[in-house]
Amino acid sequence: MLSTRTVVTGLLVFGLLGAFGYATDLSYYGSVDITDAFGYQSAVVTAQRDAELLDEKQFERGSPPEDVRKYRALLAEDLHRIDVQADTPEERAPAFAFPGTPASFDRLSADLQARESAGKQRFNDTVIRNRRTRDLSNALFLLVALLFALLVGRLRRTIEEGRLLVERLQRAFIAQRRELPNIDLGSVLISATRGSNVGGDTHDAFTLDGEYGMFLVADVSGKGIDAAVDTALIKYTIRTLFSEERDPGKILERFGALYARTVQNPETFVVLFLGVVDLSNGTVRYASAGHEPAWTLRDGTVTILPPTGPIVGIEPAPAYETRELQLNGGDAIVVTTDGLTESRDGRGNMLGAEGAAEWLGELSGRAQQIADAIERRLRRRSNRITDDLAILVVRYAPVAASVPRAAQSGASAGPTPAAIR
């Protein structure tokens, strides 16, 4: 006959197993709900972007039929994703018949805006439900404290990562170049694809946390819409990676491995320059994936910054070195894609890295003045631009009051006199 202690012990064991199993079940399905809500919201945001692009291409720009068909296919895929992720009839994709009219695009935009609001509400409701689930899980896991701590930590990370990814995704699709404190930015972006403003070259800049700023210039193999899709992948993936890592070399290593697994065309590759600047003192840490040389400008002196690792897409697990340099007030980094160095004059002579460095040594002023001057010289030298081109000038221009070092050394905190040719 079983003793009372044995019975109680057995009941306790079964109770602990049941509590653990039930709490685990709550945690798992709560994470699934958050993932589904995030998937729906991302599908709606993507559809909004592609609908705007198709409307512009089809009616404002009168793009070639082959370009319009690509955008129609993207929008149709977006609407299908919305249907797949929808939980209720109200969340399903709005009806839309191709090719559409300006009025139907307006209705589609309004309907997608409503779906976005519904998606936000769904995500927020999911978070609230999971908070309640977490409280119940906490009570159950008090019986098994170690397992409780591990699982709740995972749940909290899942909720926070999901929220962060949704916010970043919403900002990413409408993002423009963001100004950085103490940094003077200048940029030029040219597409060589006739009738299109998109191409395989891109640049990006934004603040990470108020103390550091990130900037990049990337060049994807190929031109046109297909290359532009890859540039979006690059910008938004790297922005997301910065939420977990600040070292440019390590970010390029993670991105390179991810890109090799994600991109279906094995012949696609990316050259990329990635930098992180300390906004308080001008220290720059950078890594470059087989990129065209970047340059530093210091009082008319030009220094080349060579690549620190291989082109993205060539190796499955690439390694990149992170290097550091110090910018003083008025110093600048100029990063361009090969649309500059491989440009040719009327005789077919290539400009090259040394020719570009000679140009830069003759330029000064604010960052946008330098970028515009490079573009003007390029257009005067070349009969026509045959390659996409991105130019980004990152000039350190600290406010004197916030950077005593610059004041003590006599470095100028404001714009230098323009000497643009």
Q: What string of DSSP letters covers 253-296? A: HHHHHHHHHH-S-TT--EEEEEEEEETTT-EEEEEEESPPPEEE
Phi, psi of 102 (to 5 degrees): -55, -40
- Two structure tokens written together for 123: 């995500």
What is the distance between the alpha carbons of residues 231 and 238, in angstroms, rounded to a whole number? 11
What is the distance between the alpha carbons of residues 287 and 300, in angstroms, rounded to a whole number? 24
Instruction: Classify residue 365: in a domain, yes or no.
Output: yes
Measured N-to-C along each axis, helices 102-141 and 145-173 cross at an angle, to the nearest 10 degrees, of 170
Most confident stretch, 21-30, 228-237, 252-261, 379-388: 252-261
pLDDT in tens, 296-335: 999 889 999 989 999 998 888 889 999 999 999 999 999 9
H/E stretch holding 134 reads helix 102-141
For 311-341, letters b (16+ CB in 10 Å) and e give bbbeeeebebebbeeebbbbbbbbbbbbbbb
Residues 154 and 303 in one domain: no
Question: Last residue of some domain: 173, 205, 240?
Answer: 173
Q: What pLDDT is attached to residue 70? A: 86
Residues 314 and 365 in one domain: yes
Is 55 a residue whose pLDDT tops 70? Answer: yes
Instruction: Classify residue 418: in a domain, yes or no.
Output: no
Is 185 a residue whose pLDDT tops 90? Answer: yes
Question: Last residue of some domain: 116, 140, 173?
Answer: 173
Find out whether 421 and 363 touch, Cβ atoms under 8 Å: yes
Give the residue among 63, 177, 170, 166 at the shortest CA–CA distance from 124.
166
pLDDT in tens, 162-184: 556 444 543 443 345 567 899 99
Long-range contacts of 102-107 (CB under 8 A, 24+ apart): 102/55, 102/59, 105/51, 105/54, 105/55, 105/59
Residues 248 and 393 in one domain: yes
Residues 138 and 284 in one domain: no
Query: How many domains is the chain built from?
Result: 2
Instruction: Classify residue 338: in a domain, yes or no.
Output: yes
Question: Last residue of some domain: 173, 204, 219?
Answer: 173
Is 60 a residue whose pLDDT tops 50? Answer: yes
Strands 301-305 and 332-336: unpaired
pTM (2 decimals)? 0.53
Q: What pLDDT is attached to residue 140? A: 60
**CATH (domain of 197):** 3.60.40.10
Q: Which domain holds residue 143?
A: 4-173
